[in-house]
């Protein structure tokens, strides 16, 4: 996830671009850069690693002036966060910024290298600069040059391109990554998101996938990728700049819950080969991980909950023995490790001190260490690189302290790993693998359908927002979902909440049950369903109020529950990817009703870098 912006008009572009990047910085801050075509017709570029303030310092020392320019704030995907990899990338007078991931970049890079093209960065983006520059050299106009290369590139992209050959023109193209056009008076804007240019215009056009736009100071023309003119009506937005930074959502957490369908799709993107149900684990070193005969998963907080669910996936699909440890405990229990043991660290930030410590200890004991991380180039990712490697979740920047989309994408990554090991170890047939993968690919639209029914969760949240204690119950893969539901609620609403294995209730916790303690049961279809229902009936018999998450088509559940929320039917191993979503929204709306600081709850930090 990166932020991109472009300006063409009559004002000096630099402060407009920098201001826009500031509003887009939530999308990533590994590096930032701007390119300006100045009055001499030449392109001038400044880039800096780290937050935008570093670029600001460079620009104060070496100002750039010109009325056409583009800018980028990077959340690294391909290539480390270095100045060489920072955007914009320029080749032979063609300059480009890109948000997205090209799936076939290696193939294209090899093709270009065979034509003696020299690369300056490790990014997928530079490939497009070369391809467009080749077309410009053949005499094509900038829009034709961009249009002609698009059939060759596979993946997701929002591109913004300028060229010294057309010093008054910006060309943009969109496939799966967002692009908005801001319409001004004798000036026009292009950006990843509305806030970037909300200071200058309220009139916007949202480009659709498969559309391109050509921007000049006085006009914008929109075509499809074949060059057919498109008629589009601008939208006038009434948002304040502050709201818009959260894309219209009240909190980043809410926005991130809504980003889950896209995040899941991005984790899967380019990794699945359906013909033979094999998984392309880019970043992971199969020669290191394939020989392991035992796996220890280690993590903290929400990532640990993902690991607990991963154990069900890996043991069932790949028949590999899995232990799951809190990283803060693993390090101090003298674990038995050898070169046939895999140590899988799960961490959104890749910086959690205990998880990082566990990785280092395991590496010293000759275990094969590998990671599931969201933040590219993070410490855990770097530590794992020369051992088992790292599988990135590509969930995009997660700002809310309460982890949501990171969790769901960690589950996707674990499921992909389970299929990989299952196919390698011969425990999973091609047909069963294809079936699993087809179900996985349905998850984004299933999540959409849950989000579309948010109103009923708001109503439930309002009914229970005054409770002092909550219990969350589940069995099998839904037990860690119960733990996660309780964690979400306690960390953002400050209500005491506990997650339990439903079968454990009668061994003690049932003593807590009375009419004042709401109990959230996760009772989706599957082998544990009957037993879970019996446990929930026992709670109901003690006057407990029951909110139940059930599978679509469960005709019995309404007679057991006070409130029911149904989720689409999938398989028991994939149920957690869906059942957690109503729990995230329930926690969110209870916290919102209480008026707590949802994105930055008291006493917490997004990355825990102390032990």
**Is 545 assigned a catalytic role?**
no
Total residues in contact with ligand M6R, by rule CB under 6 A: 16
Nearer to ligand M6R, 159 or 583 (CB): 583
Handedness of CA 478, 479, 484, 490 (dihedral sign): positive
Is residue 591 a contact point for ligand M6R (CB under 6 A)? no
Is residue 393 a contact point for ligand M6R (CB under 6 A)? no
Is residue 348 a contact point for ligand M6R (CB under 6 A)? yes
Cα separations in angstroms, 291 against 295, 324, 340, 341, 419? 11, 19, 7, 9, 15
Is residue 584 a contact point for ligand M6R (CB under 6 A)? no
**Which residues within the stretch 308-347 sit at the binding site for ligand M6R (CB under 6 A)?**
347
The answer to whether 188 and 32 have CB atoms below 8 angstroms apart is no
Nearer to ligand M6R, 136 or 264 (CB): 264
Is residue 303 a contact point for ligand M6R (CB under 6 A)? yes
Is residue 596 a contact point for ligand M6R (CB under 6 A)? no
Nearer to ligand M6R, 348 or 524 (CB): 348
**Which residues within the stretch 472-491 sit at the binding site for ligand M6R (CB under 6 A)?**
487, 491
Write down the least CB distance from residue 491 to ligand M6R, Å: 6
Is residue 398 a contact point for ligand M6R (CB under 6 A)? no
In whole angstroms, give the CA distance from residue 318 to residue 306.
Answer: 17
In whole angstroms, give the CA distance from residue 125 to residue 132.
Answer: 11
Nearer to ligand M6R, 189 or 588 (CB): 588
DSSP three-state, residue 411: helix
In whole angstroms, give the CA distance from residue 502 to residue 510.
Answer: 10
Nearer to ligand M6R, 124 or 325 (CB): 325
Write down the least CB distance from residue 347 to ligand M6R, Å: 3
Write down the least CB distance from residue 405 to ligand M6R, Å: 11
Write down the least CB distance from residue 608 to ligand M6R, Å: 5
Q: Distance between the two ends of the chain, CA-based, in angstroms? A: 29
Is residue 355 a contact point for ligand M6R (CB under 6 A)? yes
Q: Which of 402, 413, 489, 557 binds ligand M6R (CB under 6 A)?
A: 402
Nearer to ligand M6R, 477 or 601 (CB): 601
Is residue 352 a contact point for ligand M6R (CB under 6 A)? yes
Catalytic residue among 385, 531, 569, 606: 606
Give the burial class of 432: count Cβ atoms within 10 A of its Cβ; 0-12 exposed, 13-18 middle, 19 or more buried: middle
In the chain, count H helices and then E strands: 19, 26
**Is 373 assigned a catalytic role?**
no
Element (H, E) at 406: helix 405-425
Is residue 401 a contact point for ligand M6R (CB under 6 A)? yes
Q: Which residue sits closest to ligand M6R, CB atoms considered? A: 301
Is residue 353 a contact point for ligand M6R (CB under 6 A)? no
Closest residue by Cα to residue 291 from 320, 325, 324: 320
The answer to whether 198 and 223 have CB atoms below 8 angstroms apart is no
In whole angstroms, give the CA distance from residue 71 to residue 421.
Answer: 42
Is residue 31 a contact point for ligand M6R (CB under 6 A)? no
Write down the least CB distance from residue 356 to ligand M6R, Å: 9
Nearer to ligand M6R, 405 or 545 (CB): 405
Is residue 608 a contact point for ligand M6R (CB under 6 A)? yes
Is residue 607 a contact point for ligand M6R (CB under 6 A)? yes
Is residue 163 a contact point for ligand M6R (CB under 6 A)? no
Cα separations in angstroms, 283 against 132, 370, 450, 521, 592? 28, 10, 32, 38, 39
**Which residues within the stretch 242-301 sit at the binding site for ligand M6R (CB under 6 A)?**
300-301
Give the burial class of 234: count Cβ atoms within 10 A of its Cβ; 0-12 exposed, 13-18 middle, 19 or more buried: middle
Cα dihedral: 46, 47, 50, 52 (round 10): 40
Write down the least CB distance from residue 510 to ligand M6R, Å: 27
Name the E strands within 349-422: 368-373, 389-392
Binding stretches for ligand M6R (CB under 6 A): 300-303, 347-349, 352, 355, 401-403, 487, 491, 607-608
Catalytic residue numbers, as ranges:
2, 606
């Amino acid at each position: 996830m990166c932020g991109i912006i472009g300006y063409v008009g009559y004002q000096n572009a630099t402060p407009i671009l920098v201001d826009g990047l500031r509003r887009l910085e939530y999308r990533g801050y590994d590096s930032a850069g701007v390119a300006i075509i100045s009055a001499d017709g030449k392109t001038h570029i400044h880039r800096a690693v780290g937050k935008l303030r570093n670029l600001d310092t460079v620009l104060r020392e070496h100002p750039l002036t010109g009325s056409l320019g583009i800018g980028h704030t990077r959340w690294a995907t391909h290539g480390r966060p270095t100045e060489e990899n920072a955007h914009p990338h320029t080749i032979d007078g063609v300059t480009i910024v890109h948000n997205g991931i090209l799936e076939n970049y290696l193939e294209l890079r090899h093709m270009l290298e065979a034509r003696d093209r020299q690369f300056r960065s490790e990014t997928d983006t530079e490939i497009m600069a070369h391809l467009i520059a080749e077309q410009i050299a053949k005499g094509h106009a900038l829009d034709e040059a961009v249009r002609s290369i698009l059939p060759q590139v596979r993946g997701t992209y929002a591109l913004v391109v300028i060229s010294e050959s057309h010093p008054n023109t910006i060309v943009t193209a969109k496939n799966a990554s967002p692009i908005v056009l801001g319409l001004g008076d004798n000036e026009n804007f292009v950006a990843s998101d509305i806030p970037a240019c909300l200071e200058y215009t309220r009139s916007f056009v949202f480009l659709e996938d498969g559309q391109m736009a050509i921007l000049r100071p006085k006009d914008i023309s929109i075509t499809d990728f074949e060059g057919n003119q498109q008629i589009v009506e601008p939208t006038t937005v009434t948002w304040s700049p502050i709201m818009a930074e959260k894309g219209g959502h009240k909190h980043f957490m809410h926005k991130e819950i809504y980003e889950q369908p896209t995040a899941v799709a991005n984790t899967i993107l380019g990794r699945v080969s359906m013909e033979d149900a094999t998984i392309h684990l880019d970043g992971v070193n199969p020669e290191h991980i394939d020989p392991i005969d035992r796996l220890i998963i280690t993590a903290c907080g929400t990532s640990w909950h993902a690991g607990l669910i991963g154990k069900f996936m890996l043991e069932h699909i790949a028949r590999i023995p899995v232990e799951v440890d809190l990283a803060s405990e693993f390090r101090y229990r003298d674990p038995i490790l050898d070169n046939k043991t895999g140590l899988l660290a799960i961490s959104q930030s890749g910086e959690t001190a205990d998880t990082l410590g566990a990785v280092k200890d395991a590496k010293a004991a000759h275990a094969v260490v590998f990671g599931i991380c969201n933040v590219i180039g993070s410490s855990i990712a770097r530590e794992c690189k020369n051992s088992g490697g790292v599988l990135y979740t590509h969930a995009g920047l997660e700002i809310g302290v309460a982890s949501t989309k990171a969790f769901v994408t960690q589950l996707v990554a674990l499921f992909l790993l389970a299929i990989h090991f299952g196919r390698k170890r011969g425990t999973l047939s091609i047909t069963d693998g294809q079936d699993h993968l087809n179900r996985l690919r349905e998850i984004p639209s299933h999540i959409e359908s849950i989000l579309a029914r948010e109103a009923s969760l708001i109503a439930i949240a309002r009914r229970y927002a005054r409770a002092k204690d909550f219990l969350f119950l589940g069995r099998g893969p839904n037990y860690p979902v119960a733990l996660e539901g309780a964690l979400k609620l306690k960390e953002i609403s400050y209500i005491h909440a506990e997650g339990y294995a439903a079968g454990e209730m009668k061994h003690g916790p049932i003593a807590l049950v009375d009419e004042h303690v709401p109990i959230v049961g996760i009772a989706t279809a599957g082998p544990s369903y009957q037993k879970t229902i019996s446990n929930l009936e026992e709670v109901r018999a003690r006057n407990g109020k029951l909110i139940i998450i059930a599978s679509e088509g469960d005709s019995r559940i309404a007679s057991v529950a006070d409130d029911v929320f149904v989720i689409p039917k999938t398989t028991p191993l994939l149920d957690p990817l869906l059942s957690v979503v109503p729990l995230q929204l329930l926690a969110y709306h209870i916290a919102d009703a209480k008026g707590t600081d949802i994105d930055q709850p008291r006493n917490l930090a997004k990355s825990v870098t102390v032990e």
